Amino acid sequence: MTYLTDLFANPLAVSAALGWFSAQFIKTVLYCIINREFNAERIFGSGGMPSSHSATVCALAASTACIYGTAGFEFPMAFFFAFIVMYDATGVRKETGEQARVINELVEEWREMGRTIESLEPMEQLKELVGHTPLQVVAGAVLGIVTALIVCSVMT
């Protein structure tokens, strides 16, 4: 049980978790406002504004800087981990979402023409919201840094 209490007393873990939760909450609220409907998938889903990936890793990096400083090995590890995650979110994962959108459109056009292929019939639509725009990543990064600064000021 001490592991669990230690985890909740660790500002790095709390910052990262709150960064993720805050981004997912904001993302869900924004989705409800824009689309005028609640979609439970947005609570845990990827993609959208702000980036929960960026919020999580930036909260971790910023809280690492607050606790350990920037001179040791801890901050560079967290910083470059955050950089890779954010780069991937705007690169590979964003491109994956674009490809999913195109494939979904092609499959729908194929079905509208009355053609069937057994392998396509059971196929559900591919998930298109998997990556982020640069603005979504920056918004998540700012949210994560602010979250870390608040958590570190409260917990240390």
Residue range 78-103, pLDDT digits in tens: 999 999 998 888 777 667 777 777 87
DSSP codes of every residue in 81-99 = HHHHHHHHHHTHHHHHHHH
In this prediction, residue 120 carries a pLDDT of 59
Residue range 99-120, pLDDT digits in tens: 777 877 877 777 777 666 665 5
In this prediction, residue 126 carries a pLDDT of 64
Write down the domain spans for the chain. 2-87+135-155, 92-130
Angle in degrees, CA 47, 53, 58, rounded to 5: 145
The residue count of the chain comes to 156
Distance CA 146, CA 153 (A): 11
Whole-prediction pTM: 0.77
